[in-house]
Amino acid sequence: MRLLFTLTALVYNTAAIQYPLSFLSSNNDPALSINSFIDNLSQDLSDFEISSLNDNDIAYYKQIEPSNWPIDLEQYSTDFVIRLFDWIDTDDDIPFYQSTLSLIKEQQNIKIWDSSLASKFIDIQLNKDMAQYLLTELSSQYKFNYKLLLNNLPQTIFETYPQSQLSSLEEEENDDFITNSELFFKTYRDIDSIYAWFDLLVNTYPDILSIEYIGNTFEGRPMKALRLSVHSDSKSNEIKTVVITGGIHAREWISVSTTCYILFQLLQDYENGKVSVIRYLENLDFLFLPLMNPDGYTYTWTNERLWRKNKQQTFNPRCQGIDIDHSFDFHFTSGIESPCSDDYPGESVFEALESYNWDNYLNETKHSHPIYAYIDLHSYAQEVLYPYAYSCDILPRDEENLLELAYGLSQSIRLKSGKYYQIFKACQDKGADLLPSMGSGSALDYMYHNKAYWAFVLKLRDSGTHGFLLPSKYITPVGKEIYSSIKYFAAFLLSDK
Ligand SMILES: [Zn+2]
């Protein structure tokens, strides 16, 4: 009887949450439908839901002593993630995308997760009161759809941290590379485990793999890259390098694990004598920087799972962090975003130590290791983005081939896993023509303009179900589909040369 009751309640909740637009478009009083949407937001799991969690060996965070939580989960206890989508713009109004992002940026307690003008969605984290305020405000002027993405943020966050049985590599006696790496990809890993894995890799493959020291962060952590090069040093200035980076945004954990996974698969296939991979590695070098933002990444493991920027001090003592991905020297803009904004670019070009160090390193090595191609991994939205990010008015060079390559990357993912990655110009995705600060100073444009002939951003899974909080069971599937696109990329680069 009890089960039946909770089940009915659940179905009722879901129905109410899933169809807000049908209320909005058919109801004469939009305030009523917003009210019922807000009323149905609840984070408390029913007994029914908790029992299904336990079946999967995942604990409910409230059943665990707070002192054993990975971070303070209570800080998320009033927040939800909702999606605004499929808006309709009329000619007389300021476009919905522009107006909504501007409105949100004025509010300290609404956070933008991801947004795309091209895909027409804006995902935001906020509490009930702010949801009421924002939806009421926007619906007085615009027609748009909205839905709940995440109703239990503390639990979803909790589930992204390693469960106790997988917590530490150091507990494992085994130093075999394959066994250890398979374990390594079972869960997300903190910086110490990742750097320990780097050491294991280099000890296993000392002849072809080396650790490159890029520089130190604001908090004194080293930025480390791995160079994979199968030829002698004397040939190194003739071989072009493919650069793959991840983790420029701290909370995008899947981009970090995927960068590591690509390296792991290349090494395995090379060792197993896979002919295509041997050909790629004999003709291309690879440089991997899985943790572009070590301080921010560490902070997501110790304090705030949803932190995005680095941890540098700004001129405002209350607000830390520069968005590294706005701090590069191609169409850099300052003065639009405040230091409290998640998109804060700093006051001057390369103020973020990570982009400064990276630029120095690339300049120092540009003759010995010329760069040819660049892929920057982010999450989420399942998109392949090509230059430019700062404006759609300027055509990128060789656009036809750039686009063909973008379609090839997407197709190779779809053939591998069935997942569809949409293709956009980065400026379309960011809405840079409406909001210029959204596309300024990006790593993509900087690399494309100054360093690499080909350059792309891949925004990895998913398309909004978990967002940044993609469960760790997807680390390997995402790694595999992106590895497949990297092999396509390498084959294209070799045929192009
Ligand atoms: Zn990102």
Phi, psi dihedrals of residue 267, rounded to the nearest 5°: -65, -45
Beta bridge pairs of residue 383: 422, 459
Look at residue 7 and tell me whether its pLDDT is greater than 80: no
Task: Please give the distance, rounded to the nearest whole angstrom, from the Cα atom of residue 255 to the centre of ligand 1.
Answer: 9
Task: Give the DSSP letter of residue 74.
Answer: G
Q: What domain range is 87 assigned to?
A: 2-160
- Rounded to an integer, the average pLDDT of 346-358 is 98
Q: What pLDDT, in 10s, does the model give residues 440-466?
A: 999 999 999 999 999 999 999 999 999
Pull the structure tokens for residue 43.
Answer: 């984070």
Domain harbouring 46, CATH code: 3.30.70.340
Measure the CA–CA gap between 290 and 302, rounded to whole angstroms. Answer: 19
58 and 203 belong to one structural domain? no
151 and 97 belong to one structural domain? yes
- Rounded to an integer, the average pLDDT of 428-450 is 92
Confidence at residue 412, expressed as pLDDT on a 0 to 100 scale: 98
- Rounded to an integer, the average pLDDT of 203-219 is 97
- Rounded to an integer, the average pLDDT of 20-33 is 53
Question: What percent of the chain is predicted at pLDDT more than 70?
Answer: 89
Task: Please give the distance, rounded to the nearest whole angstrom, from the Cα atom of residue 96 to the centre of ligand 1.
Answer: 23
Domain harbouring 396, CATH code: 3.40.630.10
List strand residue ranges (DSSP E) for 426-494, in order: 454-460
Measure the CA–CA gap between 200 and 175, rounded to whole angstroms. Answer: 8
Confidence at residue 17, expressed as pLDDT on a 0 to 100 scale: 34
> Using omega within 30 degrees of 0 as the cis cutoff, is the peptide bond preceding 380 cis?
yes
217 and 271 belong to one structural domain? yes
145 and 195 belong to one structural domain? no
Chain position carrying tokens 């004397």: 234
- Rounded to an integer, the average pLDDT of 354-358 is 98
Look at residue 304 and tell me whether its pLDDT is greater than 60: yes
Task: Please give the distance, rounded to the nearest whole angstrom, from the Cα atom of residue 492 to the centre of ligand 1.
Answer: 25
Task: Please give the distance, rounded to the nearest whole angstrom, from the Cα atom of residue 260 to the centre of ligand 1.
Answer: 17
Confidence at residue 336, expressed as pLDDT on a 0 to 100 scale: 85
9 and 47 belong to one structural domain? yes
Q: How many domains are there within the chain? A: 2
Confidence at residue 47, expressed as pLDDT on a 0 to 100 scale: 74
Confidence at residue 77, expressed as pLDDT on a 0 to 100 scale: 94
Distance from CA of residue 154 to its chain's centroid? 19
- Rounded to an integer, the average pLDDT of 6-33 is 42
Question: What percent of the chain is predicted at pLDDT more than 90?
Answer: 76
149 and 175 belong to one structural domain? no
Task: Give the DSSP letter of residue 174.
Answer: -
| Residue 227 burial by Cβ neighbours in a 10 Å radius (0-12, 13-18, 19+) | middle
Phi, psi dihedrals of residue 245, rounded to the nearest 5°: -120, 155
Q: How confident is the model at residue 176 (pLDDT cuts 50, 70, 90)?
A: confident
Confidence at residue 378, expressed as pLDDT on a 0 to 100 scale: 98
Q: Quick check: 385 and 118 in contact, CB under 8 A?
A: no
Look at residue 4 and tell me whether its pLDDT is greater than 50: no
Please, which residues have CB within 8 angstroms of residue 467's CB and are 6 or more apart in sequence?
A: 81, 113, 114, 123, 149, 150, 379, 380
Task: Please give the distance, rounded to the nearest whole angstrom, from the Cα atom of residue 436 to the centre of ligand 1.
Answer: 17
Q: What is the overall mean pLDDT for the chain?
A: 89
30 and 107 belong to one structural domain? yes
Beta bridge pairs of residue 375: 244, 456
Task: Please give the distance, rounded to the nearest whole angstrom, from the Cα atom of residue 308 to the centre of ligand 1.
Answer: 8
Task: Please give the distance, rounded to the nearest whole angstrom, from the Cα atom of residue 283 to the centre of ligand 1.
Answer: 30
Among the candidates 99, 132, 160, a domain finishes at: 160
Measure the CA–CA gap between 370 and 234, rounded to whole angstroms. Answer: 14
Pull the structure tokens for residue 468.
Answer: 């940044």
Pull the structure tokens for residue 217.
Answer: 């962060």
Confidence at residue 371, expressed as pLDDT on a 0 to 100 scale: 96
Confidence at residue 435, expressed as pLDDT on a 0 to 100 scale: 85
Pull the structure tokens for residue 316.
Answer: 């405002």
Measure the CA–CA gap between 7 and 12, rounded to whole angstroms. Answer: 9
- Rounded to an integer, the average pLDDT of 301-326 is 97
Please, which residues have CB within 8 angstroms of residue 235's CB and are 6 or more apart in sequence?
A: none
Task: Please give the distance, rounded to the nearest whole angstrom, from the Cα atom of residue 379 to the centre of ligand 1.
Answer: 6
Q: What pLDDT, in 10s, does the model give residues 233-270?
A: 677 778 999 999 999 999 999 999 999 999 999 999 99
Confidence at residue 28, expressed as pLDDT on a 0 to 100 scale: 56
